[in-house]
Amino acid sequence: MISRDLKSRLMVALCYALLALALVPLLSILYTVISKGLPALSLDFFLKTPVPVGEAGGGIGHAILGTLLLILMASAIGVPLGLAMGILLSEYPKRKTARALRTVVEVLSSVPSIVVGLFAYAVIVKPMKGFSAHAGAVALAIVMVPMIARSSEEMLKLVPTSVREAGLALGLPRWKVILKIVVGGSIGSLIVSVLLAVARIAGETAPLLFTAFGSQRWFQGLNQPIASLPVTIYNYAISPYEDWHEKAWGGALVLIVLVVGLNLFVRMMWTKRRSTRS
Amino acid sequence: MNSKNLLVTKGLKAFVADFEILHGIDLAVGEREVVALIGPSGCGKSTFLRCLNRLHEETEGAHVEGSVVLEGIELYDRKSDPVALRRRIGMVFQKPNPFPSMSVFDNVAAGIVLQGVKNKSVLQEAVERSLRQAALWDEVKDYLDRPGTSLSGGQQQRLCIARALTVKPPVLLMDEPTSALDPISTAKIEELVAHLKEQMTIVVVTHNMQQASRISDRTAFFLYGNVVEYGATREVFTTPKNRKTEEYITGRFG
Ligand SMILES: Nc1ncnc2c1ncn2[C@@H]1O[C@H](COP(=O)(O)OP(=O)(O)O)[C@@H](O)[C@H]1O
Ligand SMILES: [Mg+2]
């Protein structure tokens, strides 16, 4: 018979082994991206637009700015919509509209993002006869909305029913109870839901391919094509030029720092909230 | 005890879907009186309490029949506004339920802040008054900015009482307010009730027979959605008229 002590040691060893296994891809991605991307970084890389093939220098500042703008625009549409849906789903779950909405949100979150891109192409790019920043933003917002709706619903459901009842019992109308007590009391966790969705769309490529399309220049207006980091990385990586490959790695590094940074920030905020609560 | 009736229910029935929880309750509560509701679990005490501030109807599929009159005004009148009425009837719940992420101060002030009171000194006065009334001021006066949820269980419950007092309701409903608390916190809340009854009417549900006899003027014994016996607390506990009441208070069932 194996002793209890040995068993528990084996379990611990197994846990470490699995952790190491999970870390292998993560660390090798980080190592590759950092080692190949770091040489590409320079001030010009962040502040300049591309130069013609063959010339040295230039940067992909336009794509970094483009991604930030797209995130901002997509959030302006997606965050309020997603939160409103999350509130409806959590606070009025029995309503017919909420039930229908739940189905829609579930279906939407399972739609492949390339299809979302095609959809935005059909309803915005086609009728407006051109690729544009706002088509890209709408496509990203469509990816964002179901994510935020579902996670914010979960966050709001953590508020006990008796807290809502205490608000009603104070003589507050239900909408105030929901906005000021339930939503107001969950602000921290709702920010977490939003930031995770932002981190997700920051790296989305497919929805942008036939919407924002891409550009070699700085921001030209909302109705014009706009560059983004993921699409630029894609285009540069499949090009035949050595210099572009290096810039693609540099772009990948910037993107990873953005997304992983956001993720770590969210996690830190979350654990800090947890520890102050208990 | 005052002879004037402040709160009167007549033929009060409560339903969830087709299930009749209360079968027509007639009960009158006097001004500045403490009435204890006792009875086995599931007999409808909480439901009765929640009919008095029209909280029962917020439950999915629930409705109420019959009449509740507060200070001469019918609560279940078509024209009566449940939101306005609830400012006249405070409620304290079984488990302490401070508002999440709100400081002690904001919790206590919530009732009037969310009704639009903004004046700082008015708020400060109201918060201090409520916290003193709830016998919590001395313990938290230096920690008003801390989250309400950081207090101990007993303090949280007194915080919830303070929160209810801020809107100055003439009636306070308490649903087993000490069942989740330790004996010391329980004693504090019982003491508090004795003070509060000088200014307000209190209806309190309790599972603790000693508590009912210590704090209440009158006691109603609930059984299966009916009030089986209602009278002066001393008489209910020493010379109950109903055999079921006697069996319950002597611990033979329930
Ligand atoms: N929301 C509800 N849905 C269905 N039944 C309920 C609901 N609330 C209460 N009841 C039923 O009503 C009865 C009385 O409950 P309650 O008033 O909580 O009793 P007590 O407070 O005396 O323990 C119980 O049988 C309970 O199952
Ligand atoms: Mg109960």
CATH at residue A118:
1.10.3720.10
Helices (H), A111-240: 113-120, 133-157, 161-169, 174-176, 184-185, 187-202, 206-209, 229-237
**Mean pLDDT (whole number) for B96-117:** 93
The tokens 């629930």 sit on which residue? B62
Q: Does A179 fall in a domain? A: yes
Q: Which pLDDT score is estimated for B136?
A: 93
pLDDT tens digits in sequence order for chain A, 278 residues long: 668 888 899 999 999 999 999 999 999 999 999 999 999 999 999 999 999 888 888 899 999 999 999 999 999 999 999 999 999 999 999 889 999 999 999 999 999 999 999 999 999 999 999 999 999 999 999 999 999 999 999 999 999 999 999 999 999 999 999 999 999 999 989 999 999 999 999 999 999 999 999 999 999 999 999 999 999 999 999 999 999 999 999 999 999 999 988 888 888 877 776 555 44
Q: Does A90 fall in a domain? A: yes
Using a CB-CB cut-off of 8 Å, the residues of chain B touching A161 are none
Closest ligand relative to B39 C-alpha: 1
Distance separating alpha carbons of residues A21 and B65, to the nearest angstrom: 64
Using a CB-CB cut-off of 8 Å, the residues of chain A touching B86 are 168-171
What's the predicted TM-score (pTM) here? 0.88
Task: Tell me the CA–centroid distance for residue B226 and ligand 1, in Å.
Answer: 13
Length of chain A, please? 278
Task: Tell me the CA–centroid distance for residue A90 and ligand 1, in Å.
Answer: 23
Q: Are B199 and B17 in contact (CB under 8 A)?
A: no
**Mean pLDDT (whole number) for B102-124:** 93
Q: Does A47 fall in a domain? A: no
Q: Which pLDDT score is estimated for B4?
A: 81
**Is the sign of the CA dihedral A249, A251, A252, A257 positive or negative?**
positive
Q: Does A44 fall in a domain? A: no
Q: Does A37 fall in a domain? A: no
Distance separating alpha carbons of residues B18 and A275, to the nearest angstrom: 45
Residues with CB under 6 A from ligand 1: B 16, 19, 21, 39, 41-47, 59
Q: Which pLDDT score is estimated for B148?
A: 93
C-alpha angle B68/B74/B78, rounded to 5°?
Answer: 110
Number of domains in chain A: 1
Domain range for residue A159?
Answer: 64-277
Cα A213 from chain centre? 19
Q: At what angle do helices A161-169 and B153-165 cross, to 10 degrees?
A: 30
Contact call for B101 and A172, based on CB within 8 A: no
**Which one has a higher pLDDT value, B4 or A223?**
A223
Give the residue on A whose Cα is nearest the Cα of B50: A169
Closest ligand relative to B44 C-alpha: 1
Give the residue on B whose Cα is nearest the Cα of A95: B60
Interface test with B, best of A155, A164, A170 (most B CBs within 10 A): A170
Whether A41 has its CB under 8 Å from any CB of chain B: the answer is no
Q: Which atom of ligand 1 is nearest to the CA of B59?
A: 1
Give the residue on A whose Cα is nearest the Cα of B148: A277
Whether B117 has its CB under 8 Å from any CB of chain A: the answer is no
- For domain B5-99+172-249, which CATH number applies: 3.40.50.1970, 3.20.20.220, 3.40.50.300, 1.10.10.60? 3.40.50.300
Contact call for B167 and A187, based on CB within 8 A: no
Give the residue on B whose Cα is nearest the Cα of A181: B99
Structure tokens at A215: 């550009």
Give how far B167 is from chain A: nearest CA, Å.
7
Nearest one of B125, B130, B86 to B108, comparing CA atoms: B130
Task: Tell me the CA–centroid distance for residue B45 and ligand 2, in Å.
Answer: 6
> Who among A165, A176, A185 is closest to B114 (CB)?
A176
Using a CB-CB cut-off of 8 Å, the residues of chain A touching B84 are 171
Q: Does A193 fall in a domain? A: yes
Distance separating alpha carbons of residues A178 and A175, to the nearest angstrom: 5
